[in-house]
């Protein structure tokens, strides 16, 4: 295998359970991912939805890192327009000080929610926040690297980050050409959201061409089960969520039987947006082949697997089967042996 495998977790909330259950499930899944040999575990940022508990990645990274001995942990990502660059730098510096060499700071521009919730997240609501992401990003990276210009009004603050000398590894997230341009210009690793935009191969190729040291991760949907039939059944929960999302209706992750009844009752075909979303669903051999195809399409150094099921044990089993299909534990053991020398 010439690419790494990692996990992107959106902390799905199953119908009949609460957000606290989903957050505990995230910690549990991270522990399993660590044991199975996945390379990193990122937690997403979404706001104002009954289906995802991932509103605060910075609050979830610490408990996950404390519960795991090896795996890298980070944000997939922090939606920077909501925040002060200094506050983000301080938070991830503290996490890096507590968990040296294991913390990633994935940063995105998207709001992760609807316009009303975006406005509710603002501290100053007299007017909409400015669209100044490039300036925010430059300031954030300046704090982390300690190279803000000498005449910058906040230059002294980079020396006060609480976790120094440890630092997080910054990444830029995106699903559009502009994000790839910024990642190359800033010399950052780039994580592309294939589960949002499955037509990103050209964007990735341009990033690799423009970057001096390109590092590319691709996040893609996948659900694996012992049989293709069972995997398709499990996927019905996320399909129902996406169908209703396209109608502006947000729900918790429905049980399989409820989702199957709902999908069978639909007379209109899936929207073009639904049809354009890539999902790799099947038995271990099928999912391995699908993931390898995505990695080859993008020239990816790493794939981050995104999975949503109603049943937490089914989600655990999906990641177990994928790890086994790629021999992750054996690979992790070889890497550890080489590191030990």
Is residue 263 situated within a structural domain?
no
Q: Which helix (H) or strand (E) holds 289?
A: helix 284-298
User: How many Å apart are CA 258 and CA 268, to the nearest integer?
Assistant: 18
Residue 329 pLDDT > 80 = no
User: How many Å apart are CA 204 and CA 192, to the nearest integer?
Assistant: 8
Q: What is the pLDDT of residues 285-325, one digit of tens each?
A: 999 999 999 999 999 999 999 999 999 999 999 999 999 99
Secondary structure of 139-172 as H, E, C letters? HHHHHHHCCCCCCCCCHHHHHHCCCCCCCCEEEE
Distance of CA 176 to the CA centre of its chain: 16
Q: What is the pLDDT of residues 77-113, one digit of tens each?
A: 999 999 999 999 999 999 999 999 999 999 999 877 8
Is residue 137 situated within a structural domain?
yes
Which string of DSSP letters, residue by residue, matches 237-257? HHHHHHHHHHTT---PBPPHH
Residue 318, domain extent? 4-122+131-229+277-340
Is residue 242 situated within a structural domain?
no
- Find the CATH number of the domain harbouring 174: 3.20.20.30
* CA atoms lying within 13 Å on the CB side of residue 99: 22
Q: 3-state DSSP call for residue 79?
A: strand
Is residue 249 situated within a structural domain?
no
Q: What pLDDT, on the 0 to 100 scale, is given for residue 138?
A: 95
- What pTM value is reported for the model? 0.93
Is residue 115 situated within a structural domain?
yes
Is residue 323 situated within a structural domain?
yes
Residue with tokens 């937690």: 43
Q: How many domains is the chain built from? A: 1
Residue 270 pLDDT > 80 = no
Looking only at the bridges linking them, the beta strands covering 302-306 and 72-79 are unpaired
Report the mean per-residue pLDDT for the chain.
93
Is residue 238 situated within a structural domain?
no
Q: What pLDDT, on the 0 to 100 scale, is given for residue 293?
A: 97
Q: Which residues pair with 75 in a beta bridge?
A: 43, 105
Residue 335 pLDDT > 60 = no
Distance (Å) of CA 201 to CA 124, 204, 205, 297 = 39, 5, 6, 6
Is residue 265 situated within a structural domain?
no
Residue 68 pLDDT > 90 = yes
């Amino acid at each position: 295998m010439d690419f790494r495998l990692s996990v992107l977790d959106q902390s799905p909330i199953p119908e009949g359970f609460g957000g606290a259950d989903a957050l505990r499930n995230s910690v549990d899944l991270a522990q399993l991912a660590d044991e199975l040999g996945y390379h990193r575990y990122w937690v997403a940022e979404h706001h104002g939805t009954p289906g995802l508990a991932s509103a605060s990645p910075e609050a979830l990274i610490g408990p996950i890192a404390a519960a795991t001995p090896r795996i890298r942990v980070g944000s997939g990502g922090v939606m920077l327009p909501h925040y002060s660059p200094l506050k983000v730098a301080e938070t991830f510096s503290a996490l890096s000080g507590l968990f040296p060499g294991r913390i990633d700071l994935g940063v995105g521009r998207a709001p992760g929610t609807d316009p009303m919730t975006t406005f509710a997240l603002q501290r100053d609501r007299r007017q909409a926040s400015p669209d100044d992401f490039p300036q925010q990003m430059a300031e954030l990276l300046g704090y982390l690297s300690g190279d803000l210009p000498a005449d910058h009004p906040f230059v002294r603050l980079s020396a006060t980050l609480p976790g120094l000398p440890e630092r997080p590894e910054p990444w830029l997230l995106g699903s559009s050409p502009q994000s790839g341009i910024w990642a190359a210009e800033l010399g950052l690793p780039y994580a592309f959201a294939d589960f949002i935009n499955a037509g990103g191969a050209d964007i990735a190729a341009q990033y690799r061409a423009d970057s001096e040291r390109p590092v590319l991760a691709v996040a893609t949907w996948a659900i694996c089960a012992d049989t293709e039939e069972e995997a398709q059944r499990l996927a019905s929960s996320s399909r129902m969520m996406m169908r209703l999302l396209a109608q502006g209706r947000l729900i918790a992750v429905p049980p399989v039987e409820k989702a199957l009844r709902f999908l069978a009752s639909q007379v209109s075909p899936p929207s073009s947006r639904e049809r354009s979303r890539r999902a790799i669903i099947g038995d271990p051999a099928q999912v391995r082949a699908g993931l390898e195809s995505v990695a080859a399409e993008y020239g990816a150094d790493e794939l981050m697997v995104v999975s949503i099921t109603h049943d937490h044990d089914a989600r655990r089993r999906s990641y177990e089967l994928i790890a086994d299909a790629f021999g992750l534990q054996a690979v992790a053991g070889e890497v550890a042996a080489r590191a030990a020398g």
